[in-house]
Chain A
C-alpha cells in the first residue's frame, strides 16, 4: 500500500490541500494522525506527551502542505515521518514545545486520537486476557513493554536464557492479542 499511497494518493491529497480543500486535510490527518501518535508514543513512552507532540507534528505537516512546501509529494509518508521525528528529537534534546505560538484553529476538528486507546470494550477484553496470564508471563510483558527492558536484561533477572524470555513474551502476547480479537482458546499448546 505504501507505494500506491505515495505515488498516487499523496500527490493528489497535497494538491487539494494547497487549494484549500478542508476534506483533504481531514483525510491526511486520518491517515497519519494515529500513526504519528503511535510513533511518538514508542519513542517517548508517555501517552500525554505523545498526544501533545503528535499534535505539534500534525500542525507542522499541515502548514507545510498548505504552503506547498512538501518538496517530493510522491514521498509524502517519508515527509510526515521526518517531521514527526524532528519534533520528537527536538523535544528529547531539551527544546520546549512550541505549541504555544501555534493556533489551535489551524488543526481540523478531526484531529482526534480517541480510537487509539479508548475503546472500552476492547480494554475490557484486554484486561481479561492479561488476567488470564501467569504472573511470570505478565511480569515479562511489563518489564518488556512498560519498563523497556531487553530480553537479555530480563534473562539476567530471571536466571534463564534470553531465548526463553523471547519465547514466553511472544506466546503471552499472542494469547493476549488473540483474546482481543475474540479468538481466545483454552490454555494449551
Chain B
C-alpha cells in the first residue's frame, strides 16, 4: 500500500533522521497521526534507530573516535584510520614495552584481541571508502553508436552524482557493448559507491583485462577498494601494488594505502 500524500518512503527517513524543518516536521506529524502507512514507516525506522544505539562502552568509544574525523579530507581520514589502529594497539597492551607487536604478545587477553579486531575492522572500513573518480565528457561529431550514446547519458548521471541511475544505465551499456572499457570501469565504480563491492568486481575485472589505458590500470585501484570492503587484505595488496606500479588511482593514494595496510596486524 502507498500513501497518496507521502508516497516516497524517504520522507519518513528524513523525519526520523531529524532532517525536516519545523514546519515540515509538524505537517508530517499531523499527517501520520491519522495515516497508518506513514506511521508504520516511522515506527519501523525508530525500531532500527533503537537497535543501532550502542549497548556498551566499547561501541560508544568507537563512535567518539569517529567524531574526530568530522570535516576532514579523505586523505586525512586515512591517516586517522591508521592512527586509530596504532592507538588501539598501544592501549590494548598492558605492558607496551614487553613486545613490539600486539599479536606476538603472550599476555594479550580476549578483551585485547577484541579491541584490536574492532580497531582493525574500523581501519579497514575507512580504507575501503571510495571517492568518485572524475569523468570528463568528450565532445564528438554526433555519429556515435547507440552504446556510446547510452554511455554518455549514463555518465551525465554519474557526473551529477546520481550513481544509482548511472549504474542502471551502464549495466545496459555493458550488456550490449562489453568491450567498452570506460563503461565497465565506471559501472564498477558506481557499484562501489552504492555499497556493492562484490558486484563491482566483475566489471572492474573486465575493464582491467580489456587492456585499454587508463581504464585497465585504474581498475586495479578500485578492485583493491572492493577487496578492502570484504576485508580481503591479500587481494587488496596485490591490486594496490599493480595500481602503484602504473601510477593509477588518486595521486599517491595506492602507495599510501599499501603503507596503511602494512601497519595493520597480519
Contacts and interface: CB of A to CB of B under 8 A. Distances in A.
Contact of A160 (B34, B53, B122, B129): B129
Contacts, number: 167
B107 interface: no
B223 to A, nearest CB: 17
A34 interface: yes
Given A42-B18, A159-B129, A189-B196, A2 B51 contact: no
Contacts of A2: 31, 33-35
A59 B69 CA distance: 44
Question: B interface, by DSSP: helix, strand, loop or mixed?
Answer: helix
Interface in A140-169: 141-148, 150-151, 153, 156-164, 166-169
A168 B69 contact: no
A145 B45 contact: yes
A117 B49 CA distance: 10
A144 B161 CA distance: 20
Given A135-B122, A157-B69, A141 B48 contact: yes
A82 B194 CA distance: 40
A149 B50 CA distance: 16
Nearest to B196: A189
Interface in A85-135: 85, 116-117, 122-123, 126-127, 130, 134-135
Interface residues of B, number: 64
Nearest to B70: A157
Interface string B7-24: 001100101111100000
B115 interface: no
Question: In the complex, which range does the number of interface residues on chain A fall in?
Answer: 35 or more
Contact of B44 (A123, A138, A177): A177
Contacts of B162: 163
B77 interface: yes
Interface of B: 9-10, 13, 15-19, 25-26, 29-36, 39, 42-54, 63, 66, 69-74, 77, 121-122, 125, 128-132, 161-164, 167, 171, 191, 193-199, 229
Interface of A: 1-2, 5-6, 32, 34-35, 38-39, 41-43, 45, 47, 77-78, 80-81, 85, 116-117, 122-123, 126-127, 130, 134-139, 141-148, 150-151, 153, 156-164, 166-174, 176-177, 180, 187-189
